[in-house]
Each structure stands twice: as C-alpha cells, then as structure tokens.
Structure 1
Amino acid sequence: MKGRSTEALQDFSRALIAPVKFMAVMGLVLAVSVILQLEFMPNFIQTFGLLLKNMMDAMLNNLSLIFAIGIASSLAKRQKIEAALTALIMFLLFLAANNTWLTITNSLAEPGEMGLFSTGQAIVLGFQVVDMNVFLGIIIGILVAYFHNRYSDKELPAALSIYGHARFSFMILIPVILIFAILMAYIWPWANRLIASLSDFIYTAGLLGVFLYAFGNRFLVPTGLHHLLWMPFCFTAIGGTVEINGEIYAGGANIIYALMSNPGTVSSMDPSLRFAMFGFAKIFASIPIALAFMNTAYPENREEVKGQLMPSALVAVLAGITEPLDFTFAFQAPLLWLVHSLITGIGETVLWALGSRTYMLYGIIDSVVVNSVFSPSVTKFYITIIVGLIFSLIWYYVFKLMIVKFDMNTPGREALVATSNDTNRINNKSTEVIVSTEDNIRYVIEGLGGPENIDTLTNCFSRIRANVHDPEKVNVLTLEKISEQKGIFENGNNIQVVIGMNVQTLREKVSEELGLD
C-alpha cells in the first residue's frame, strides 16, 4: 500500500513538470519583452516587446487551464490527446456550473475598489467563480486522468460505439464536474483559510521557514517529490498573493513575473521571492561538487569522472537540471546528500538574512535575464554573488573532506561493476561506447521485458519512468547498455532509468516504436 502511494505521488510529481517546463520559457521571454520596452529602444522594438509581454501575460493569467491540460495528458495512460481535450472541456464546464450555482444562490461577490481582490472569487475566462487559482487546474487534471484511465478503454455495442472509449469517460465526468463545481462553492472558502494559515506560518517562521523550505526542496529531489513542495509556493496562493495593476497574482514565481511588467516602479521585492530562490544550489554548488568528486577519485578514474560529471554540472548551472549530477551520489553516499541539503538550507537562509532579493528559480540563464530587469538596489545581486562564491568553497571542501574521511563511494571511488541484485544502480562506464539511436531504443524495450511487459512509459526532466507488468522480466544488464544512462532505480513495478537532458527524445522514440501515445 505504501509503495503504491509513493508511486502515485511520484506520478503526480512528474505530471506537474509538463506545464512547469513551459513556465521556464515564459519567464525568459517575459524578461526579454521588458528589456525590449526600455525607453532607449526604437519604437518598433518597443512595440514588439509589448506584443511579447501581452502574449506571456495571457499564459500567466490562465495557468489553471494550462495545468489542467498538462496534468491530465501526462497522467493519461492511453489516448493522451483525448485526455487533454477532455480536461479543456471539463475546465469550461466547471466555470459555467460554478458561476451558475453562485448566481442562483445569490452568492456572487460584489467587486470593491480593488475589484474582486480578497473576496474569494475571481474572473476566469469571463466567468466569476470561486478563486481556486492553479488548484482548480490541478484538481480537474487529476479527476480527468483518473476517470479517463479507468473508463476510456470501455467498448460499447456497435450501435453505440460512438459513445465508447474516451467519450464514455467524458460522459461520466460531466456529473462529476457538476457536483464538484457545486461543492467548491461551499468547501473552497474554508480551503482558502487553510491555505492562508499555511502561508502565514511560513512567513511568520522567518529565517526558520526559509531554511525548512530550502532544505526540503533539495532533500526530496531523489524521490521526485520536491515538486510537491516548491510548485504550490511558486504558483499558488500558498506562496502569497498580491494585487498589481488591478490583477491578482498568486505564488512567488508568478508575482515576480508580474512585477517584471513594471520594473521601474518596484522599489523592493515582494516577500514571496523567498520561494523562488532555490536555484542557489544549482548555480553555486554543482561545479564545486563535480570538482570534489574529480579530485577525490582514484587517479586512474579521474579523466573518466571528468568526462562524466562536468557536462552534467554545466547543465545544472545553466539550465537548473541537477538530476544527472544528483543521482551520481544521492544513493551511493546518503550522508553526503543530507549534508548537501543542509548546506543548501543554510545558504539560502544566509542570503535572505543579508537582504539578497535575487530571483533564482532555475539556472543561471533565466536568473541573469530576469534579474537584469530590476535595479541592482532592489535585487542586491552582488550579495548573492559574494555569498554564492563563499558557499561554493564550503561545498567543495566539505565534500572533499567527508569523501576522504569516510571513504565514500562517490564517482571514481566505487566498484566499476554493479551487482545484479542492487536496488539502486549507478552507471560507471570505464570506456565510452558509441551506441546508435536504434540500439538505445532496443535496449530500453528489451531491458524492460519486451513490449508486452511495458504498461506505461513516461519521462520527467531526466528520467525514463516505466511501469511494468512483471518486474522479474526486467533485464538490468540490458538497460545498462543504453549509452547515456546514469542510473537505474527499481521499486516494484516502477522502473526508472536516469538519462539526462536527452531523455524526452529517447522516450518519444521508444513510445513511437511501441505504438504508444
């Protein structure tokens, strides 16, 4: 039961990644649009910047719909396009039903001087409804995925075949969404109070709250559950709400993106920024950690470790994708991972205490672009650089000392061949082997026990995630032949293969070969 619950949470965590990936692009483009609208820019450039900004604002103001579609399609085991379309329709049906119920029960809030701000209601796609923000999209996405996976394979008699498959689950969802829309009119006001209390706790906890948030975000990475921590604080009301130019924005990242629209009027960053600073470890820890592993590796392995780790470290610094580097030691040296998480928590706490207000959600690319929009007196990025360099030295020397003192199994110091009974296997190839794309596809399929043994196949930022019918048919030795694999993790029927930045390309090719959506 515990294993199934953990697997379900991991699946949900992975599904959240789909829309979040697009958020990174949105933030980058939004920052560029603001730069293009600076006064010294030619008029046609400013006009182009305004167009870009309004386009990104349309996405920022409709994140709930984006999350509904993204989560439903990611969690769907089959007919993903139909699941996405169903999520879109159910989102619209909820808005209509909830608005109608609020109207006939005389429960519509009256706008004040600041519109519907703080009334518990909001205008979504023209409908006045209870203000569930991104939570509405998340819940609808989960509901659609559940009923879609359960009923979309139902076949009806020939005369009624048009109502079978995805249309059958669609029909079942209509009354479900109707009931859900009515219930939320009464339940969500209480949920809003609970969310406000949780948010207040983190805020009032001061530096302790910053430490716990930063530590948790790093410590939970190996489980994939860290998304369940940072995503609500960055994109929902748990991370705070603020009114900007008559629009209500919720969550640390959303608020920063909204402030970028009027950088000249920003004299201080909103306190919710503390939830969008966990790129600190990605930017300042990745290269020192890689260097510590290289310098403590056995001499004959150092060149191999350098070739293995430095590309992963650079990807972590530039794009904020740390999993390829994280999985080289998270399971082999858990004490080192704990210390890494503690240093991360302390580092972000020191930054906040010293007054740094520098956005660092992903990697250095988006951090530089976004922070360049605001005045240095607001972001105090120089504090971040100084503290970051100091903590880079701390990461390097603490890692090096612990690795040597406790003789840890970090890259270049472990046995070169993993045993076939290991639950967690980390790849360490002594020679670089060129493997064709076709061979990699074959190794994935054969390693997972063949097409008939593969139930579902998805991916997150860096891992192929598969659910298999019979874990005994999984051939780990075959999976280890995949040219880019960096680790293999087994948990019952759930198999994960760490690939890195090219994971989506490989997974899509395997899915195409298997005839999966």
Structure 2
Amino acid sequence: MSSTATAAPAKKRGSGLFQGLQKVGRSLQLPIAVLPAAGILLRLGQPDVFGPKGLGWDKVASVFATAGGAVFDNLPMLFCIGVAIGFAKKADGSTALAALVGFLVYSNVLKAFPVTDAVVNTTANKGVDVAATYNNPGVLGGIIMGLLAAVLWQKYHRTKLVDWLGFFNGRRLVPIIMAFVGTVMGVFFGLIWEPIGEGISNFGEWMTGLGAAGAGLFGLINRALIPVGMHQFVNTVSWFQLGDFKDATGAVVHGDLNRFFAGDPTAGQFMSGFFPIMMFGLPAAAIAIAHAARPERRKAVMGMMVSLALTSFVTGVTEPIEFSFMFIAPVLYAIHAVLTALSMAITWALGVHAGFTFSAGFIDYALNWNLATKPWLIIPIGLVFAAIYYTLFRFAITKFNLTTPGREPEEEIEDITKA
C-alpha cells in the first residue's frame, strides 16, 4: 500500500446515532400499518353501524368490536414484535418469537408490582369487585422490548454453545436470553415506572392544556421531522401515550388516537388538523406545481401531480407530494410545515375533534364521521387552506424560480431521457 494513500474519511460524530434513530423511526411503521384494519373492524362494531342505533345486529356488532379491540388492546405487544422485525437486519420468525417471549415475561413480571391491590366484595365498595392496577409503560415499553430483542438477536443468533448444549445454538438461544431480559426489564419498570409515567402524564396534560397552540406545535414538529425520517417518534408518543381516558369498561386507555376510538370527547387534538392539509392543502399544492411547470412539460407533470393529489385526498398518503419539493425547494417545505401548524391550531380552536387509524384522508374522514365532533367544518377549512397553498406555492415557485417538477434545466431533462 502506498504511503500516500488517503485514509478513509472519519465518520462524523453523532452520524451513527442519527442513523440508528432513523432506523428506529422506520421500524415503527410496521406495527402502525396494522391499525387501518383494526380501525375498520372497530368502527363496524359501533352502535350506529351494526349496533342498536344502526342495523340492530348486536351480535355482529359485538364480533366486529371485539375483533378491532383485540388489536388496540394489544398495541404494546404488536409494537414490540413489529419494531424487533423492522429494526433487526435480516430478521426472521425467530426474531419475532424472541420479542414475543421477552414481552410476555416482561408484561407478567410487571404484575408482581401492583400499584393498588384487588378488592373483592366488600361493604365499602358495595359488593363490586375492584381489579388490581399495575404500572403500564404501554407502547413505550413495547418499543423498548422490541429494540432489545432486535439488538440481542443480531448479536447472538449465530452463537454456538458447547457441544452438550448444541440444541440451543443460534436462533434458539435468543428467546431464552429474552426471557431473562424480560424479567429484568419487568422488575426495572415495576420499580421506577410510576414517576416516569407521572412525568409523561403531566407532559400530556401540559400539551393538551395548551389547546390550539399545543396542536399547532405538534403539527410543526411533525412536518419538520419528516425529512429526517424521525416523525414517527412524536407520532407514537402523541397518538399512543399522551393523555388518559377511562372507557366504558373502566379500562384506562392512553394516547390521542386510542382515546378518540374509545369515545373520549376531548381527543383528536393531534389528528384533526391534518385533514384540511392532506385532503385539500397538499392536493392544491400539487396542482400549483403542475401549473408552474414549463408549457412543454406541463401536461406530463399535470398527469403525475393529479395522481399524487388524488392519493393524498383519498388515502392521506402525502409523502409522494412532499418529496417532490422537500429537498429541491426547501422554502416550499418550510411554508408547508407552518401551514400545517396553522391548520392544527385553527381546526382545534374551532372545536373540531376528528381522528384516523391510517391517515387523514377521505376514507378515514367518511368512516369516522359519526365519531367526530363538527367534522363538517373540515371542508370549509380545507377549501381555505387549498386556496392558500395554491397561491403561496405558485407565487414562491415563480418568484424564486424554484426547480420543482417540470421546471428542471433543459440539459438535466436531456440527461434523464438519455439515461
């Protein structure tokens, strides 16, 4: 090797941590993808659909409600398994098994540390049994257990033991390790979760107490983190952890999304304002981008943008539109982030309470209409934001000569065509 050979560039400090956090964010998408199915089942089980206020098929409604509830009731376990599979390299069934074993042990060990003891048939409680309550780290605990399972699986799934323990080599070893890890984590959370849980609860009360400002702050942070792929962190905490509500059965549910579908009339703070943006604002931005394209490219760009606009309106999937200008025209993305914050704040200030299981598109909007408060207001609010988006995007693109789709330099288009 030549003495003049250049050394490999040193890794920037923090880049490994940043990439790891991005990977965690991406792994959260797998369990979240299950929610639309659960949301549809739960919605069909509501009284106004198949229940007594709808078709009157009570048994059918009960089947759908319990089917959807099975997913929502076990979200921590689903996040544990989903994160383990999504985070581990070349994960397989043994990764999921290790995560499940660890979670089941961890979950049961938590019950060795009751916060309040069970009370059975006493005069004080008028003969009503009261179940014991336990520390419940919820989805956060599931995510931590999933990450531990992924890391330990990657480290030990090829480990070879001594010959007489050969049966437990490799993949069979990791679930055993996770059983002990689950025990330790159960004891750990059982002892220290109460102050942490109170801290999260207090933070949730502070955020919800901010009202419209809190909703706007969440919207701004959510959009600001999308370019680096870390928005799922704030989404997971806000939708599945912040805020508490006791449902009709007496069970306590956590998080804006869970509370909305459990019937909490105060829920929806961190979801409602996305509907005007995803159904109206971003589709209008897509049309503005098409109209700002050069005449010879306008037809092709319009076809693409109309398709993306329809996707955003119907399903609430906005990434295709956002990534069309996010990096080539950051000023447009800054405008988009601020407008999202305004939509979140205004929608909440006007008393709109809406929710979704997948995203803030027309499908969720129509499906959950009867669960929402003032859902009709989303349409006029959305039309106003559509006009604002179109005007600001069209002005910024032409004023600053931004190279949005259809405005690329000629030589760039020729290179793409020849490639």
TM-score band, normalised by shorter chain:
0.7 to 0.9
Distance in 2 (alpha carbons) for counterparts of 1:380 and 1:96: 42
> 1:42/1:387 Cα in 2 relative to 1: closer, same or farther (>3 Å)?
closer
Which residue number corresponds to residue 497 of structure 1?
none
Tell me by how many angstroms 1:401 deviates.
Answer: 0.5
Distance in 1 (alpha carbons) for counterparts of 2:323 and 2:365: 24
1:410 aligned onto 2:404: yes
Residue number among 271, 274, 291 corresponding to 1:276 in the alignment: 271
Distance in 1 (alpha carbons) for counterparts of 2:220 and 2:186: 37
Residue number among 335, 342, 354 corresponding to 1:339 in the alignment: 335
Which residue number corresponds to residue 385 of structure 2?
391
Which residue number corresponds to residue 362 of structure 2?
364
Tell me by how many angstroms 1:111 deviates.
Answer: 4.8
- Structure 2, unaligned runs of 5 or more: 1-12, 121-129
Residue number among 320, 326, 331 corresponding to 2:322 in the alignment: 326
1:242 aligned onto 2:245: yes
1:100-499 alignment, distance < 5 Å: 100=112, 102=113, 107-111=114-118, 129-157=134-162, 159-236=164-241, 238=242, 240-245=243-248, 246-259=250-263, 269-270=265-266, 272-277=267-272, 278-359=274-355, 361-371=359-369, 373-374=370-371, 379-415=373-409
Tell me by how many angstroms 1:128 deviates.
Answer: 6.0
> 1:40/1:140 Cα in 2 relative to 1: closer, same or farther (>3 Å)?
closer
Tell me by how many angstroms 1:326 deviates.
Answer: 1.0
> 1:309/1:257 Cα in 2 relative to 1: closer, same or farther (>3 Å)?
same
Which residue number corresponds to residue 70 of structure 1?
82
> 1:169/1:379 Cα in 2 relative to 1: closer, same or farther (>3 Å)?
same
Tell me by how many angstroms 1:176 deviates.
Answer: 2.4
What's the CA shift string for 1:493-517, capped at 9, x where partnerless?
xxxxxxxxxxxxxxxxxxxxxxxxx
> 1:280/1:19 Cα in 2 relative to 1: closer, same or farther (>3 Å)?
farther
Amino acid of the residue matched to residue 50 of structure 2?
Answer: Q
1:80 aligned onto 2:92: yes
Distance in 1 (alpha carbons) for counterparts of 2:215 and 2:208: 8
Which residue number corresponds to residue 8 of structure 2?
none
RMSD: 2.5
Amino acid of the residue matched to residue 187 of structure 1?
Answer: I
Distance in 1 (alpha carbons) for counterparts of 2:118 and 2:278: 43
Amino acid of the residue matched to residue 384 of structure 1?
Answer: I
Distance in 2 (alpha carbons) for counterparts of 1:385 and 1:112: 50
- Structure 1, unaligned runs of 5 or more: 114-121, 260-265, 420-426, 432-476, 478-517
Tell me by how many angstroms 1:11 deviates.
Answer: 0.8
Amino acid of the residue matched to residue 407 of structure 1?
Answer: N
TM-score (norm 1): 0.71
What's the CA shift string for 1:210-239, capped at 9, x where partnerless?
211111112221211111111211111x2x
Higher strand share: 1
Deviates more, 1:339-348 or 1:89-98: 89-98
Greater relative contact order (CA < 8 Å, ≥ 6 in sequence): 2
